[in-house]
Structure 1
Amino acid sequence: MSTICQKLEVLGQKVEEPQKIAKLLTDLPSPRFDLFRHTYRLQAAVGTPLTFADMQAQLQIIESDLSRTAEKNNGVTDTGEALVAHQNQNRGRNQTNKRGNKNRNKEKQKETRACHFCKEVGHLRNDCPKWKAKQSSIQGEQGRQDQDRQKQGRVNVALTSSVPMRQPYQSGWIIDSGASNHIVRDRSLYKTYELLKTPFEITVGDDFALQVIGKGQIEVDFSDGHTWEPGTLNDVWHVPNLGHTNLFATGVVAKRGYEVVFREEDVKIKNKNGQTVLAGYPGDNGLYHLMIRLRGHVAKKAAASIKLWHERLGHISVDTVKQMAKTDIVIGLDVTTDDTMNFYCDGCVKGKMSRKPCKVKSSREVVIGARIHSDLCSIEVESISGKKYFVLFKDEASAFRKTYFIKEKTEIFDKLRDFVNEQKAERGDQMITLRTDNGTEYINARCINYLKQNGIGLEKSVA
């Protein structure tokens, strides 16, 4: 159980204390540990549960006691069977005891109630043979299901969820006993790299030839399943057409005195002292993936020119890009070429260009009553007197408004004439310009002739 929990934590799935206890209680074989299971639940109910470590210690003690009891009872390993055997032996010895004979001769009163399970009269459910047979079959089925789940590599946690005991582990590094050397496909993984003057070919499993074009050193971190330690892979071949995974050759480490141990649940590489320096776990298709991760310098594969970093970082200044690269503020910001002298960003030039504002001369009228704006609007709800529209006249200088309600659009001419007459009567002058839209209620021969006769200009808006 502890090993399983450690593997799950390595895979990033932490198992909490209640989940460990629930799993342990579920996997205890029945009926040997039924009493222990019930006792723990009673302690938990009163608020004094055992910890996972205490439970392991108690179970080891109980296991040793059961083993000694089995030896005394001629191989009877079940506590219930041992108890029955002792009772039978005592019963034989007590047959000569008169007091014991008198006690056994006292017969119980015959049960008159009916069993709730089989509905027969004469016994209760706890004494019903059919009920006991059903419970035995249920426990046997549960035991078989638990064994099947364990064979399939699944562990039940907290009685309500399940997590893989051995999840397919993916690291990008596959251990290969048939590889001649460590092989990768990504050029950017190397810390130091040497391009081969004379490339050579290697043959893979399907007799397909791949070309090795370079070699170099890769800085990585190795894990033994618990902690990560820095390491270096030397003389790693570069094969661009290898695939999406990297190959770790067992022959290379074996020549250097390391031991490679394959097991069903994992693979371990041990040094001469027997210490595990690198571990791996099965992935898809039975391939073992080693716990190898690339170190921080790999982020430098994003190296680019100052201009490209300038664009990536939101068009910040070139000096800021240089300062960030110099002080390592951003991990992986590697400037390949300093092209400051020839630096030119079309986007920055266009984005910083400014355009002079268009000077608009104000033509707002300042003389009251000189320019009048007019428009016709419909009314959604017809008035009691049947008015469907209203016509508005507004003075541009003073914002004075005059409204007339009309039934038909043809009445606009009459209202225009009334407004001109009222303005003359009240102010002693008349409008100079009438501004309207292109509506036919204004743009018609009758209105145009009236405005010309009275010396009033007509202006039309865009609408």
Structure 2
Amino acid sequence: MLATMTAELQKQHENMAAFDMIEHLKTLYQEQARHERFDVSKALFQTKLSEGNPVGPHVLKMIGYVENLERLGLPLERELAIDLILQSLPESFSQFVMNFLMNDMDKSLPQLATMLRTAEKNMKGRGKTILMVNNGKPKWQQKKPTKPKGNGKGKAVAKPSTKALKPIGGVAKEGKCFHCGKTGHWKRNCPKYLEDKKNGNVASTSSGINVIEINMSTSTSWVLDTGCGSHICTNVQDLGTSRALAKGEVDLRVGNGAKVAALAVGTYDLTLPSGLIIQLLNCYYVPAISRNIISVSCLDKCGFSFIIKNKCCSIYLDNILYANAIMINGLYILDLDMPVYNINAKRIKPNELNPTYLWHCRLGHINENRISKLHKDGMLDSFDFESYETCRSCLLGKMTKPPFTGHKERASDLLGLIHTDVCGPLNTPARGGFHYFITFTDDFSRFGYVYLMKHKSESFTLFKEFQNEVENQLGKKIKMLRSDRGGEYLSLEFDNHLKECGILSQLTPPGTPQWNGVSERRNRTLLDMVRSMMSHADLP
């Protein structure tokens, strides 16, 4: 918890327990959050879109209010949030609102924003156009101004009652009645139909709007199709390095069996919201098709992979997320206007704003790969996983010294190299008041001498004693003496004595006891032996 706080808050809470921290933070910010929640909810309920203003920024602003309320502890139901957005739209979107409510669409807030932007473009380009289905037959109807006939005076025609129904309109000589099956008249003029309707033997049929759903083509939306063998575009201007096709050279067969002609073929550079580009090779320009189509099989041949999950088809190449296609009305639509949030190629956020770094601190500065695995397994809350900057705390806390892997050279003769080191002071003095001991180890034979000392200043005297003994017994001279940079070895009299005897002094670098490892290992062995014997004898 302290890692997520600012420096000032860390100073205030560093001596508190977790429960006390939470209670203190509540007293500091709970009242402030209450006022902020009131302001955000007020802005959300009072936001209205003026006629003529773009709908995209308006919806994004309201989604931001909804997310702020959820962050402040007042989450709204998704249906309530959708209702508030629909209620804030002007009268020009009334047809869209009616269609949305009648179809009872189950959409998320980003999907609703996409549908509203598409509807706005369609209204600007084609006016208010809806697909009508009357008595089971589709019919495009568009509002047109009606012109008065005659002198402008009309009479209201009363609806005929079921008791006095008569044939109306002309008679079709070649028409076939859908009620009795005979030719020569239509169903509305069929005597049998009128008689059955008068007697109430005809089931009532409801006419009106049965389908209120439009899939309009836009240059910024593409449909992912697994059944299409080639890419198809509807705008030849964006087709690069293209060539025209002769009539009949390439014909595509659509779902109803009809053939449509391709007029050009080329490479389409599809610029994605993430900034990445997908090259659609051998993309055909087919003006007869109303939708831009991406062939999944063609992308698969180019090395792309697809993951379908939670009504979303994600497109990957070399483990890099290129785009997300959202399911809209049963089709996976790639909207080039919708931004991509979860992508590794985008700029890394600062650690203070990065939720991945926050979990890195909460979980004890674990590795980024482990956080990624926990995120994929669903163990962590849903968030935008991305890399974070180098954690300086990890560098300071996990820094280790690399091991010494080199092999040291061994002496080729007795007394060729002597290792020496002083150990102490000891917590419990030995008999006689000795607090230190010094060791001398021959590098060739690893035979060693141990001398007890009361003070470190006795090192020079004991070295001369050791030197006289071994040189007299072996008839050889000490050639090199290796020691650390202890003060007992750097005294002037010690240095002068080594020069007089022709002994080379080898001093290890500061902070590297590994270079004097023979003496350090000998000291440790002696101390382990002494502690074990004292423990066995129940001595302090």
TM beyond 0.5: no
Larger radius of gyration: 1
TM-score computed with the length of structure 1 as normaliser: 0.29
